[in-house]
Structure 1
Amino acid sequence: MSPPCPSPSPSPCPLLPVALALAAITLLRLAHPAAAVSFHLPANARKCLREEIHKDVLVTGEYELSEQPGGRTDLKVTDSSGHILYSKEQASKGKFAFTTDDYDMFEICFENRLPAGHFRGPDQQIVLNTKHGVEAKNYEDVAKAEKLKPLEVELRRLEDLSEAIVNDFAYMKQREEEMRDTNESTSARVLYFSIFSMCCLVGLATWQVFYLRRFFKAKKLIE
């Protein structure tokens, strides 16, 4: 925590904006944490992780697999259309990165394979760390390229985080509008169907009354 400004100081405390900026950056980082997972993959098994990513978002991943004598594990990253964004046979340790062209569901799959005739083997431990958006951006390279000071780098990060949050809210608003339009359209169709059903029932009841009246008159049960 920064010390308070002395009261007699004529100029504002220079540490207060820095502290507020760092606090805001910390809160925004908590809103967009990096996704790191660790799991065990049995022999001759396949496991996939799926995640929805917005349009024009940088996605990076770092993976590390434990050794498995006599076996191999293949890694493949695909989108919902089946396009391969990254592929690695006999994966052990590495990184991948890609930028999304559209809002889509992306799938990261690990497949453990043993040689023919081998059906058992130890489980393989896989550690996967994925980042997207601002978390995936390397601000050290930005600082070197634009010759930014540490505070300017943090402010740039804060600006990018704020922009990402605004884009998320804009997308949520768009989805809310689409859902509202869908609900209104469904309600209107239900209303029209109900009116049509009522008209059919009234018409059927009227026809039945006239039919029964003619039937009873033909039988001379009524005049």
Structure 2
Amino acid sequence: MARLLPVLFALLFCGYVQPISFSLPPNSRKCLREEIHKNVLVTGEYELSEAHNQGQVRLKITDSAGHILYSKEDASKGKFAFTTEEYDMFEVCFDSKLPAGAGRVPDQMVNLIMKHGVEAKNYEEIAKVEKLKPLEVELRRLEDLSESIVNDFAYMKKREEEMRDTNESTNVRVLYFSIFSIHQVLHLGEIFAELLPTSQSG
């Protein structure tokens, strides 16, 4: 049942994306991290409240290896898009830089909307390019959603197998370590048994 929950949520909330809002104090950094599958389209839209005293915010998106997927020095408002090459952890960071002597200034509000997979595709544009009827567009969207769900299941199964293999490998190592420990204890017992008569006779 627990495995079905992501699928149910995907079906119920497909197309509904909740924007993320947070405050960004001056000279601070805030990052959001998300795991995303391979070959997935990711799109985003961001907007920051007005900066005071010529402060600037840099937006940078990187993967776990530090490769920059998107970077904007004066990120006040804009959009971004990229396609993932591998399953990875991606990081979206906002860096606030304030010039020296700026004094006390209020925090900036950051509004961010990120979409990936089916929700990131522009089906209206696809319909125009391919001249699809409304029903055909819905069928295409459901087809893409089904493919996404199948990929999620395949990934969960793979992770489960990897975890099981890791557990089995750990159990084998624990068994070998236990046997080795028992052997060491027995060997030490033999050494003490040999030393005791010598010490008693001395």
TM (norm. structure 1) is: 0.80
**Contiguous gaps of at least 5 residues in structure 1:** 1-23
Aligned to 2:26: 43
Aligned to 1:10: none
Give the distance between the partners of 2:12 and 2:126, measured in 1 at CA: 19
Instruction: Tell me the SS of whatever aligns to 1:148.
Output: coil
Which amino acid is 2:99 matched to? P
Give the distance between the partners of 2:177 and 2:167, measured in 1 at CA: 15
Which amino acid is 1:63 matched to? Y
Aligned to 1:150: 134
Give the distance between the partners of 1:51 and 1:26, measured in 2 at CA: 17
Are 1:180 and 2:153 counterparts? Answer: no
Matches for 1:1-223 after TM superposition, within 5 Å = 28-30=11-13, 34-70=17-53, 71-213=55-197, 216=200, 218=201
Given the superposition, is the C-alpha separation of residues 44 and 207 from structure 1 closer, same or farther in structure 2, using an over 3 Å criterion? closer
**Contiguous gaps of at least 5 residues in structure 2:** 1-6
Identity rate of aligned residues, in percent? 66
Given the superposition, is the C-alpha separation of residues 204 and 25 from structure 1 closer, same or farther in structure 2, using an over 3 Å criterion? closer
Given the superposition, is the C-alpha separation of residues 27 and 150 from structure 1 closer, same or farther in structure 2, using an over 3 Å criterion? same
User: Per-residue deviation at 1:27?
Assistant: 5.8
Contact map agreement 2:14 2:119 (CA 8 A) in 1: no
Give the distance between the partners of 2:163 and 2:13, measured in 1 at CA: 28
Larger Cα-atom Rg: 1
Task: Tell me the alpha carbon deviations over residues 190-213 of structure 1, each in whole angstroms, 9 at most, x when there is no partner.
Answer: 111111111222222233334434
Contact map agreement 1:58 1:99 (CA 8 A) in 2: yes
User: Per-residue deviation at 1:214?
Assistant: 5.4
